[in-house]
Amino acid sequence: MAMDILMIEDEPNIAEAVRFILTREGWQIGLHDDGAGGIEAITQQRPRLVILDLMLPNRSGAEILGDLRAADDPDLAATPVLMLTARGETTEAGQKADAVLAKPFANDELRAIVRQMLG
Amino acid sequence: MPFETLLAICLAYVVLMFVVAFAADRAAARGHVRWLDHPLVYTLSLSVYCSAWTFYGAVGYASRSGLEFLTIYLGPTLVFTCAWWGLRRLVRVARMHHVTSVADLVSARFGKSNRLAALVTLIAVIASTPYIALQLKSVSLSFEVFATDTPEAPIINGATLGGTAGWVAAGLALFTILFGTRNLAADERHHGVVTAIALEAVVKLLAFLALGVFVVWGLADGPADIMARIARAAEAPENAEGWLLRADRWTALNMVAAAAILTLPRMFQVMVVEAADEERLTVAGWAFPAYLFAMSLFVMPIAVMGRELLPAEANPDLYVLTLPATQGQDMLAMLVFLGGFSAATSMVVVCAIAVATMVSNHWLVPLWLAMRKTTEGEATDLRGFVLNARRLAILAVVAAGWVYHQASEGSAALAAMGLVAFVGMAQVLPAMIGGLLWRGANRKGAYAGIGTGFVLWMALIFLPSVGMGGDLPVPGVMDPWAAAVFLSLSANTLAFIAVSIFGFPDPVERLQGLSFVSAVEPIRHSRMMRSDDRAEPLLAMARRVWGPEEALRYFQAEARAQGKSGYLPDLTPRFLTRLERRLGGSIGSATAHAMIDRVAGGVALTVSDLLQVADEAQRAKEETQRLESARAELAVTARQLREANDKLTALSVQKDAFLSQISHELRTPMTSVRAFSEILKDPSLTPEERARFAGIIHDEAGRLTRLLDDLLDLSVLESGRAQLSISVANLHDLINRALSAASATRPERSFLIDRDMSSEHLGIITDADRLLQVLINVISNARKYCDSARPLLIVRVQNLEADGTIIDIIDIIDNGSGIDSARQSLIFEKFARLNDPARAGGAGLGLAICREIMAALGGDISYLPGQGGAAFRITLPKRPPVGVAASGSSAA
Amino acid sequence: MPDKPLFLERASFHRRRLGDAARVLPVLSSALVLVPVWWAPALVSFAGGVLWFFLLWAGLILAVWALHRALLRAEAATMRASEAVAAGQSRPEGKAQARPAQGDARQNTGGSPDAL
């Protein structure tokens, strides 16, 4: 079964919250908890949406986004990305993402953005 | 005198020597070297030249050959007339190169060749063994004089007498090992030994002078009477022949004695290796000849009176003992006995140290390193090996002397061994002097010269002296012994010069040649290191040789001299040169050179590099000397400025980063709290889910609180408003508490803890809770980050005296992969948490807080590179600075 | 200031001549020890030899002692002289000049390249 969302987030509690919220919405969601290996996880699992934390150990979200956009496969490179940032961290990396969600966020905000991006 | 009394006095004297040596070593360790370094002590230590052979033998020699005995003392006197420009220069160059022995000097001069040093060591060993045997023999002979003198001595039989030499040898080996190999100092000085030797020199001199005074004014009627008796003795037909000086022998003996004072291992040891600097030679230049003068002044009178008063069959070599003994002067005889004992023991001790240093540095250590090349175990403790090799070599040298003594028991062959050893070591002289004066001298020449001399000495002098082969067949009236000396030394010199002229030295050798001949500091040429990443292996290597403390102190001092903070200096040629020479001071220049090459992976020196260096050194010597200090000062200042500037830039970046970090660290738990509290509003959740999510909210709220606490803590500490509650605590208890508190971090990992409990029991005056906080933090970090499969935690406590204040040092070391040098300077910064998935909840403020706490306590915490894992050093003053206590109380 | 460098020159000249004496001394003393034995061994082998060698020896010790004392004093004098010169030069031009010149003097005496 194809995966809807891959989430790359190192904080287990945030990951848990996002997974709980989106699973209840009926999405299939996978998790990767390290910056290293992030791009490989995306390539392998081919999700329809990537939720990417900006601050990750070993390899930042911005770098992973760069890797993704530079991928050889045009379909893969075009995968929509939702970047999770702290407010005030809206850098150029955030501009390259398809959508940005600032922490802390309202759960409805998250649901709405995901629904819109996958809709 | 009963044998037992003699033995008791003898033992008491030995104990005194041990106590003196021990006290001097302790004084030196505390830095009280003022009187230990006095030129007079230096001069007295040179008197180790007067061994038992000269103490007892000079009178025997004089009674057989008249004034010829004077050569043994006149030769050195002639050398010391060159003290101002010759000996001072030798000592300066040798100290500059941290030379450890005469073999090391020759090896260092001729391109740091260990094989050359090994050859010189061979000569030294062959020459020294019978010479040491001679000393042992003299001690046992002098014991015998007293023993046979005692009518009521039935228990004294051959076995106990034969054992005397054995006991003396064992005692001397023990003394030498105790005080000669206590540490592997970088400059190889032994204050304890030298002081004991100086004291023995005084005993020697007093004993001989007392005997002389007794003979001249007690037995004869003053100097005029003695002169008359000498004149009368000379008229005896056998003396008229035997006492007549022969020009060839006279010249050869003077030459050989002059060479011996420079090349005998024990003389080189006391004159060059143990010298703090060359300036003491301005005193020793006249004082040592004066000592020799005093030692020989009464030799002729004693010889003449001995011949007159003692029976014809009495051994002239023992006149100094038998003369007072037969005259009923027991106390005087005892004193003389102690003098002779001193002469023998001091010679054996210094000779053993010197020869053992050569054997271990030029035979054992290179052999061991060569064998280890296949199995690269860098963690091995080289220092321990070198010390043990020295101890073994001392035992071997003394034991060889004893075995030789036992084997040649009763034969008269030993008596000649002093001179034989002199001539053997003199074979090193042409290469040594040539190397110091002539830039053209090269290694092949040194091999040829020393080799030729060695072979001729063995064939013409050494082997005949032990009864193999005969004297040199010389035509005419020439003395065969003198002919052999002239032949071996001139063939040696000729071979050295001829081969040097036709040979072409390699670049390293030419550089060393330049440095030796012009007495300028050598620079380790243009072997460029690619980056600083080799500094740490070098530090690790230095630790293995000097031990961790010494190595760290040296590297830190060098880094500071370059204007750098921390423990890792840049690998400039200057630093590498200095490091190599200092290492050379412990293990010999050839080995040090090879080891640095191996670790630092230097590039071979090319001729154009050399020419560049040589030309520069030659032409611009004065110019550079003047500019050097100014430029170095500028460079240091510039460097400090650059470092300060970097720090300022980094600080402003850091401040921004700090704010965004705080925001990030606060947002992360906040996000979870907000998301889950919203989820909890959903009525459809199961009770288990509710409980779990509530738990998460609780945890995250706790994390927020901790973070805020840490921030508050840090801001209080940074502003200097921290309130400390100073009390007395036992460091051992604190470490115990820290270990058990930290075991809550990743409790699934079991650590091996390596502690030295006995050193931990230290009373400290500090804020115990704060110190505990630091300890827990560091140990928890080790538990978190140590990535070894079998994790080990080492805790070491030391109590040091530095710059007059006592500090406690706590080292906490794990066996993980450590922190790479690029990050080492960052870890104490706020939020400098290592990028690590295992970062387990901390906000990255721990070490920053630790640093602030230690600063408030008047101490410091730093990262120790090169310890094989992550290592932190916490230093603590004996009591907190006054300002802290005052501000603490005023704030309260 | 032509007189001050002259002062320095005289001090260092004196020191260099003493250095020459130090170099001649070993040659002279070797000759005094060796030549009599080559020349007239019978004269210096017995009581006469005792007198000759011990007096010579005592003389040598005194000579080395006196020479070393004079050399040390001469070195100190050279240093003082060059410091005086440095001070004299620096007065009109300000203090900055004094330092390198003093450094110079110390190298001359400490390193004493010409005394080797």
pLDDT in tens, B123-145: 999 999 888 988 888 888 888 87
Label residue B214 by pLDDT band (50, 70, 90): very high
What value does the mean pLDDT take over residues C25-43? 90
Q: Is C53 on the interface with B (CB under 8 A)?
A: yes
Chain B interface, best mutation among A9, A13, A105, by max B CB count within 10 A: A13
Task: Give the C-alpha separation, B180 to C15, whole Å.
Answer: 41
Question: Sign of the CA dihedral B311, B314, B320, B323?
Answer: negative
Facing B245 at nearest CB: one of C25, C41, C67: C41
Label residue B398 by pLDDT band (50, 70, 90): very high
Phi and psi at B786, nearest 5°, equal -65, 120
Q: Is the pLDDT of residue B587 over 60?
A: yes
Percent above pLDDT 70 for chain B = 85
Q: Which chains touch C (3 or more CB pairs under 8 A)?
A: B
Pick from B57, B65, B133, B78: which is nearest to B295 by CA?
Answer: B57
Number of Cα atoms under 13 Å in the Cβ half of residue B14: 20
Inter-chain residue contact B675 with A86, CB threshold 8 Å: no
Q: Is A10 on the interface with B (CB under 8 A)?
A: yes
Distances in Å between the alpha carbon of B431 and those of B115, B443, B446, B493, B781?
15, 9, 5, 8, 59
**pLDDT in the model for residue B883:** 54
Task: Give the C-alpha separation, B224 to B201, whole Å.
Answer: 29
List CB contacts (< 8 A) between A106 and chain B. Answer: 674, 678
Phi and psi at A99, nearest 5°, equal -150, 155
Query: Beta strand B752-755 with B763-766: parallel, antiparallel or unpaired?
Result: unpaired
Q: Is C35 on the interface with B (CB under 8 A)?
A: no
Inter-chain residue contact A88 with B660, CB threshold 8 Å: yes
Label residue B633 exposed, middle or buried (CB < 10 Å: 0-12, 13-18, 19+).
Answer: exposed
Label residue B292 by pLDDT band (50, 70, 90): very high
Label residue B838 by pLDDT band (50, 70, 90): very low
Domains of chain A (ranges plus CATH)? 13-118 (3.40.50.2300)
**pLDDT in the model for residue C99:** 40
List CB contacts (< 8 A) between B671 and chain A. Answer: 11, 14, 17, 103-105
**pLDDT in the model for residue A60:** 82
Q: Which residues contact B194 (CB under 8 A, 6 or more apart)?
A: B24, B36, B41, B42, B45, B270, B274
**Number of Cβ within a 10 Å radius of residue C95:** 9
Chains A and C touch (3+ CB pairs under 8 A): no
Give the tens place of pLDDT for each residue, B627-651: 666 777 777 888 888 888 887 887 7
Contact B393, B162 (CB under 8 A): no
Q: Is the pLDDT of residue A94 over 70?
A: no
Residue of B nearest to A14 (CA): B672
Inter-chain residue contact A103 with B667, CB threshold 8 Å: yes
Domains of chain B (ranges plus CATH)? 3-373 (1.10.4160), 523-619 (no CATH), 634-718 (1.10.287.130), 727-891 (3.30.565.10)
Inter-chain residue contact B286 with C57, CB threshold 8 Å: no
CA distance B834 to chain A (A): 9
Q: Is the pLDDT of residue B605 over 80?
A: no
Chains B and A touch (3+ CB pairs under 8 A): yes
Label residue B536 by pLDDT band (50, 70, 90): confident
Pick from B99, B11, B68: which is nearest to B341 by CA?
Answer: B11
Q: Is the pLDDT of residue B329 over 80?
A: yes
Distances in Å between the alpha carbon of B449 and those of B436, B445, B496, B508, B698?
15, 6, 4, 21, 87
Inter-chain residue contact C107 with B254, CB threshold 8 Å: no
Number of A/B CB contacts below 8 angstroms equals 62
**pLDDT in the model for residue A62:** 84
Chain A interface, best mutation among B678, B686, B693, B839, by max A CB count within 10 A: B678
Q: Is B685 on the interface with A (CB under 8 A)?
A: no
Label residue B237 by pLDDT band (50, 70, 90): confident
List CB contacts (< 8 A) between B676 and chain A. Answer: 13, 17
Number of Cα atoms under 13 Å in the Cβ half of residue B228: 6
Label residue B290 by pLDDT band (50, 70, 90): very high
**Structure tokens that stand for B20 in this block:** 């003196």
List CB contacts (< 8 A) between B85 and chain C. Answer: 19, 22-23, 115-116
Q: Is B678 on the interface with A (CB under 8 A)?
A: yes
**pLDDT in the model for residue C108:** 38
Q: Is B679 on the interface with A (CB under 8 A)?
A: yes
Q: Is B596 on the interface with A (CB under 8 A)?
A: no
Averaged pLDDT of chain C = 72
**pLDDT in the model for residue B205:** 94
Inter-chain residue contact B84 with C54, CB threshold 8 Å: no
Torsion of CA B455, B457, B460, B464, to 10 degrees: -110
Q: Which residue has better confidence, B413 or A85? A: A85
**pLDDT in the model for residue B521:** 64
Inter-chain residue contact B837 with A57, CB threshold 8 Å: yes
Q: Which residues pair with B173 in a beta bridge?
A: none
Inter-chain residue contact B671 with A105, CB threshold 8 Å: yes
Inter-chain residue contact B234 with C47, CB threshold 8 Å: yes
List CB contacts (< 8 A) between B699 and chain A. Answer: 13
Lowest-confidence pick of B339-343, B503-507, B681-685: B503-507
Q: Is the pLDDT of residue B748 over 80?
A: yes
Inter-chain residue contact B679 with A58, CB threshold 8 Å: no
Q: Is the pLDDT of residue B839 over 60?
A: no
**Structure tokens that stand for B581 in this block:** 């020479």
Q: Is the pLDDT of residue C100 over 90?
A: no
**Number of Cβ within a 10 Å radius of residue B468:** 10
Facing C68 at nearest CB: one of B230, B245, B282: B282
List CB contacts (< 8 A) between C33 and chain B. Answer: 74, 78, 254
Label residue B817 by pLDDT band (50, 70, 90): confident
Give the tens place of pLDDT for each residue, B516-535: 887 766 655 444 444 456 67
Give the tens place of pLDDT for each residue, B467-500: 776 666 766 677 888 999 999 999 999 999 999 9
List CB contacts (< 8 A) between B78 and chain C. Answer: 26, 29-30, 33
**pLDDT in the model for residue A92:** 60
Q: Which residue has better confidence, B801 or B772? A: B772
Q: Which chains touch B (3 or more CB pairs under 8 A)?
A: A, C
Contact B41, B209 (CB under 8 A): no
Inter-chain residue contact C64 with B81, CB threshold 8 Å: yes
List CB contacts (< 8 A) between B629 and chain C. Answer: 103
Q: Is the pLDDT of residue C98 over 80?
A: no
Q: Is the pLDDT of residue A28 over 50?
A: yes
List CB contacts (< 8 A) between C107 and chain B. Answer: 625-626
Residue type, B136: L
Inter-chain residue contact C47 with B74, CB threshold 8 Å: no
Facing A88 at nearest CB: one of B663, B673, B674: B663
| Complex ipTM | 0.90
Give the tens place of pLDDT for each residue, C37-87: 888 888 888 888 888 999 999 999 999 999 999 988 888 887 777 777 666
Percent above pLDDT 70 for chain A = 92
Averaged pLDDT of chain B = 81
Label residue B284 by pLDDT band (50, 70, 90): very high
Residue type, B813: I
Contact B497, B483 (CB under 8 A): no
Facing B679 at nearest CB: one of A21, A33, A105: A21
Inter-chain residue contact B664 with A55, CB threshold 8 Å: yes
Query: Beta strand A29-32 with A5-8: parallel, antiparallel or unpaired?
Result: parallel
Q: Which residues pair with A102 in a beta bridge?
A: A85
Pick from B784, B859, B886: which is nearest to B827 by CA?
Answer: B784
Q: Is B663 on the interface with A (CB under 8 A)?
A: yes
Give the tens place of pLDDT for each residue, B91-125: 988 888 888 889 989 988 888 888 899 999 999 99
Facing A17 at nearest CB: one of B660, B675, B837: B675
Give the tens place of pLDDT for each residue, A39-83: 888 888 889 999 988 878 778 888 888 888 888 888 888 889 998
Inter-chain residue contact C26 with B246, CB threshold 8 Å: no
Q: Is C96 on the interface with B (CB under 8 A)?
A: no
Chain B interface, best mutation among C45, C56, C102, C114, by max B CB count within 10 A: C45
Number of Cα atoms under 13 Å in the Cβ half of residue B388: 6
Q: Which chains touch A (3 or more CB pairs under 8 A)?
A: B
